[in-house]
Amino acid sequence: MNIEATIIALGYLGIFLMMIANGTISFPSSQVLYIIAGYFVFTGDLNVVLIIFFGAVGNTIGCIILYEITRQKGLDYILKWKIFPQKEVQKITVALHKKGLWFLFLGKLLPAIKVFVPVAAGMGKARRELFIPIMLISSAIWTAPFLAIGFYFGKSSGLFGKYAVVLVIVAIIVVGIFYKYINSKEVLNEIEK
C-alpha cells in the first residue's frame, strides 16, 4: 500500500480509512502514515488538527472492531488471523486485569505493544464506556511525535536518522520496562494457573 499516494488521492478520508485498518489489523504502519502526513502539514496541504481528529477517530473505530470481535468470538477466532501471538496477548490481558485501565492507556502508547491492547481488552471484557475514550485519547496522543517528525524533517532522511536514534532509544527503554513487567513472575504465574 502506498500511503503517500492514498493521502494525496483521498486526503483526510484516506487517513481515516487507513487508521481504521491500522486499529483492526495493525496495517499500514501508523508511524509511517503520520510522518508522511506531518510532511503534508509542512507543505500546507493538510491541517494538523484534522489529521489528529480523523486519525484518532479512525484508529479508535478499528480498535473497537477488534475489541468487539475478540469479546464476542474469543481469542481462538482472533488467533486464526495469525497476527497476534497467543502468549503475548495472554500476558497483556493478565497485566490489564492486575493493573487496571491505566494499563490500556499506557499500552496503547507503546510501539509493538499497542497492537495487542484491543484484543486484551476484549478478552478481559473491559467496560466499553471506558475503553472507547481511552483508545480515542491515546490514539490522538500517539500522532503528535510522528506528525512532528514529518513536519520538521520532512523528506530529509539525514536529519530524521539522527532524531530517530534518540526516539528509538527512548522507545526501547519504555517498551523494555513494559515487557519486563508482562514477563514478570507475577504475570507468568497467572497465565500458568
What is the domain range of residue 50? 3-192
Q: What residue ranges of the chain have pLDDT lower than 50?
A: 157, 159
Q: Are 61 and 113 in contact, with CB atoms under 8 Å apart? A: no
> pTM of the full predicted structure?
0.81
* pLDDT the model gives residue 156: 58
Based on the number of CB atoms within 10 Å of its own CB, is 70 exposed (0-12), middle (13-18) or buried (19 or more)? buried
pLDDT at site 67: 96
Torsion angle of C-alpha atoms 90, 95, 101, 105, degrees rounded to 10? -80
The identity of residue 138, as a single letter, is S
- At 34 the pLDDT is 92
- Residue whose entry in the numeric block shows the C-alpha cell 484516506: 14
Taking a C-beta distance cutoff of 8 angstroms, is the pair 113, 33 a contact?
A: no
Q: Give the three-class secondary structure for 64.
A: helix
Please give the radius of gyration of the chain, using alpha carbons only, rounded to the nearest integer.
Answer: 17
Name the residue type at position 160.
F
pLDDT, residue 153, reads 76
pLDDT of residue 48: 97
Please work out, in degrees rounded to the nearest 5, the angle formed at the alpha carbon of residue 18 by the alpha carbons of 15 and 23: 115
> For residue 191, what pLDDT is reported?
64
Q: What is the pLDDT of residue 187?
A: 61
Domain count, the chain: 1
Position 150 scores a pLDDT of: 84
